[in-house]
Amino acid sequence: MSFLQLEKLRKVWPGGAVAVNGVELAVARGEFVVLLGPSGCGKTTTLRMVAGLELPSGGTIRLDGRDITRLPASERDIGMVFQFYALYPHLTVAENIAFPLECAGVPRAERLALARALAERLELTALLERRPRALSGGDQQRVALARAMARKPAVWLMDEPLGTLDSARRAEMCDFLRAQQLEHGVATVYVTHDQDEAMRLADRIVVMSAGEILQVGPPHEVYDEPAGLFVARFVGSPGMNLLEARSTGRALELAGARAALHFAREVAPGNVVLGLRPEYVRLAASGVLTGRVALDAFMGSHRYVHVETPAGRVVALASIDAPSAQGEQVGLEFDLRGVRLFDPASGSRIA
Amino acid sequence: MKLVRWFVLLAYLALAAAPLAWMALSSLKRRDDTIAPHAKFLPASSAVDDSASPWFEATLAAYRDLGAVHAGAQESFLGHLGSSVVIGLLSTVASVALGTCCAYGFSRFRVPGAKDWLFFVLSTRFLPPLAVVVPVLIMYRALDLQGTHLGLIVLYTVFNLSLAVWLMKGFLDEIPRAFEEAALVDGYSRGQAFLRVVLPEARTGMAVTAVFCLISAWNEYGFAMTLNSSGAVTVPAYFAGLQGNIEGMPWPQIAAGALVFVAPITVFTVLVRKSLLRGMTFGTIKQ
Ligand SMILES: Nc1ncnc2c1ncn2[C@@H]1O[C@H](COP(=O)(O)OP(=O)(O)O)[C@@H](O)[C@H]1O
Ligand SMILES: [Mg+2]
């Protein structure tokens, strides 16, 4: 029996626009679930319905077996980080962090001590007496996080809580957040459009697009076995290489390829989209495809070499030694174990 | 260009300040000097024995006299000032409190026909208030509210309510809902969220609304004259009532009283001046 359960959840705005369309999701006790999707796909709306700030147009929300679909927000026992912080402007940082505890009946001295301890762990100590207005966006976001973490509610809901942090801070906060969540075992639904964050944090990732769930699974599964073209493109940076190909049943033909690729399984003849992650593409003196280097992106520990081929642009993962010059002709070798096939019309996975 | 601006401003200042200055001078005179055939406009420290001289002897006697009861009145100026304070403050507090609550409802909840309701609220201002003075008089007589503080408090509250609702709706619309939502999620009830999170943010708006309500209640004359000519008389009605008393108008005392009467409003308005400007732009225009 899952702890938080969304059944056929729908939200239709008064104008008729559908923001969330039949979302089915079960979150286990202590699980960290990340809603991942492009901006405008209904992540915030879903979260707000769980929080009780938006009334669903259809469907049911259950928490610990109880139907809470129409329960007021204040009776749901939820800690939330808002996308735009929503810090109380007339309270200091310390008072902001302590505010949820006051409602929970914690005495004043204890509240402020707790706020101080949390602030220390989030490196906010120097800001405790300031008002939110005098804080940078990143600092405000960390205060919002501290406020949500002051209490240990049944569920944590976090709406892009690290969106305005610089990348070093963000990685640090990701780890802190995950550690806290593991320590307290609070079921968490976390919203982001950043797939790195999603991979780093999630027990399970929920990929959303246009109000619908496309795929649910652990990060490696969503990454390795994308359920469709959208997930293949959206997850991973850079995303999966997607090339138009023709299946002849036993083999795959690629425009400009030296030879047909022999795929392990039989596929119905016709047009397909061939997907291959950059780590399954290798630079070689001579390969299946040849092309011109369009971009050589240095990433620190590795490089992504973008190659323009007759079949389309292909990104290959390469080691940092022997960088290639732009415009240089290179060959590409494919590791066929990484090949995923999609139906070009429906975008769904074939093999 | 700058010169022209200074000239225009100074000319306007002279025009606007002249009556006030004259009142201030009058408040320092003896009664005889206020009605002398030759204008006396220069204060001096001692009396001048020449009826044509513009000099008069300045004295604070009129201010000391504010506690005195004049012929034809039942109370001194200070007594009436007390009535004005009680009626002005209580009706302002009531208008702002009721207006804020009402505006919060319109601002945050989906009220069926909200636009029509708001228009109805505003439409209560379309009729000149004095047009309803007779029915109100009859009702107040029946309810025994004539000549009471409560009567005018209720009346001014009702008249100012529509303004308060509209002004406060503008201010509350500007406060993001996210603050309340955060409080709701943190476990506070809607009422607590309103008191703890919305009200502190609405303070400026409430101060601006209070200025408008207070000014209109403080200076109201028509209803005060008709309903409260014999009890709980406010200052404007009291001054008017002094006319035709057997001693003649006590001009120095009236001038002194009028200055004392406008002082608190002036101070209050200056204090919230910055917010007033903000209120005028996003409270009313941006509705
Ligand atoms: N209060 C609202 N009224 C009408 N439409 C809204 C409202 N809030 C969001 N939307 C629309 O609903 C869709 C989903 O929005 P949202 O849940 O905020 O997406 P996300 O958080 O994934 O970026 C968007 O098209 C957005 O424009
Ligand atoms: Mg969002």
In a domain, B285, yes or no: no
A213, two tokens: 């769930």
Same domain for B8 and B118, yes or no, is no
Q: Tell whether pTM > 0.90.
A: no
Q: pLDDT of B237-274, one tens digit each?
A: 998 888 877 778 888 999 999 999 999 999 988 888 87
B192 part of contact set with chain A, CB < 8 Å? yes
Q: For B201, which residue in chain A has the nearest alpha carbon?
A: A90
A202: CB partners within 8 A, 6+ apart = A32, A33, A34, A190, A218, A219
Domain count, chain B: 2
pLDDT at A6 over 80: yes
Query: Does A212 score more than 60 pLDDT?
Result: yes
Q: CATH code at A210?
A: 3.40.50.300
B287 lies in a domain? no
Domain count, chain A: 2
Q: Are residues B83 and B216 in the same domain?
A: yes
Cβ neighbours for A136, distance < 8 A, ≥ 6 positions apart: none
Give the domain extent around A110: 2-233
Q: Which of A35, A44, A55, A214 to mutate to test the pocket of ligand 1 (most atoms within 8 A of CB)?
A: A44
Confidence tier at B275 by pLDDT (50, 70, 90): confident
Does residue A29 share a domain with residue A120? yes
* Residues A285 and A169 grouped into a single domain: no
Three-class secondary structure assignment of B141-194: HHHCCCCCHHHHHHHHHHHHHHHHHHHHHHHHHCCCHHHHHHHHHCCCCHHHHH
Domain boundary among A233, A262, A279: A233
Neighbours of B67 (CB within 10 A): 11
Q: Least CA distance to A157: which residue of chain B?
A: B185
The reported pLDDT for the residue numbered A127 is: 92
Give the pLDDT score at B280: 58
Same domain, B103 and B6: no
Does residue A204 sit in the same domain as residue A264? no
Q: Which atom of ligand 1 is nearest to the CA of A47?
A: 17
- Cα-Cα-Cα-Cα torsion B175, B177, B178, B184, nearest 10 degrees, comes to 130
pLDDT-based confidence at B124, cuts 50/70/90?
confident
Biggest CA–CA distance in chain A, Å, is: 75
Looking at the structure, do residues A286 and A181 belong to the same domain, yes or no? Answer: no
Residue pair B208/B279 in contact (Cβ under 8 Å)? The answer is yes
Sheet holding A78-81, edge to edge: A78-81, A155-159, A187-192, A32-36, A204-209, A212-217
- Give yes or no for a cis peptide into B128 (omega within 30° of 0): no
The mean per-residue pLDDT over the stretch A2-9 comes to: 93
Which residue has 């957040």 as its token pair?
A: A177
Selecting from B179, B187, B200 the residue whose C-beta is nearest the C-beta of A103 gives B187
Q: B81 and B41, same structural domain?
A: no
Contacts of B91 (CB under 8 A, 6+ apart): B152, B153, B154, B155, B156, B157, B160, B213, B217
Q: Is position B64 within any domain?
A: no
For residue A233, with 0-12 CB atoms within 10 Å meaning exposed, 13-18 middle and 19 or more buried, which class applies?
middle
> Are A74 and B200 an interchain contact pair (Cβ–Cβ within 8 Å)?
no
Q: Poorest-confidence range of A192-206, A308-322, B47-61?
A: B47-61
C-alpha dist (Å) from residue B199 to A129, A305, B196, B205: 21, 58, 6, 10
What is the share, in percent, of chain A residues with pLDDT greater than 90? 69
B283 pLDDT exceeds 50? no
Long-range contacts of A222-229 (CB under 8 A, 24+ apart): A223/A199, A223/A277, A225/A340, A225/A349, A226/A275, A226/A340, A226/A349, A227/A348, A227/A349, A228/A342, A228/A347, A228/A348, A228/A349, A229/A273, A229/A275, A229/A342, A229/A347, A229/A348
Q: Determine the Cα–Cα distance for residues B28 and B25; give it in Å rounded to an integer.
A: 5
Whether A103 and A188 map to the same domain: the answer is yes
User: Among B59, B79, B108, where does a domain finish?
Assistant: B59
In this structure, what DSSP letter does residue A238 have?
S
B247 close to A (CB below 8 A):
no
CATH number for position A310:
2.40.50.140
Which pLDDT band, with edges at 50, 70 and 90, does B285 fall under?
very low
B287 pLDDT band, cuts 50/70/90, is very low
The reply to whether B18 falls in a domain is: yes
B39 and B119 together in one domain = no
* Least confident piece of the model among A11-20, A162-171, A305-314: A162-171
Is pLDDT of B104 > 90?
Answer: yes
pLDDT at position A318 is 92
Q: Which of A233, A268, A297 corresponds to the end of one domain?
A: A233
Residue A165 reports pLDDT greater than 90: no
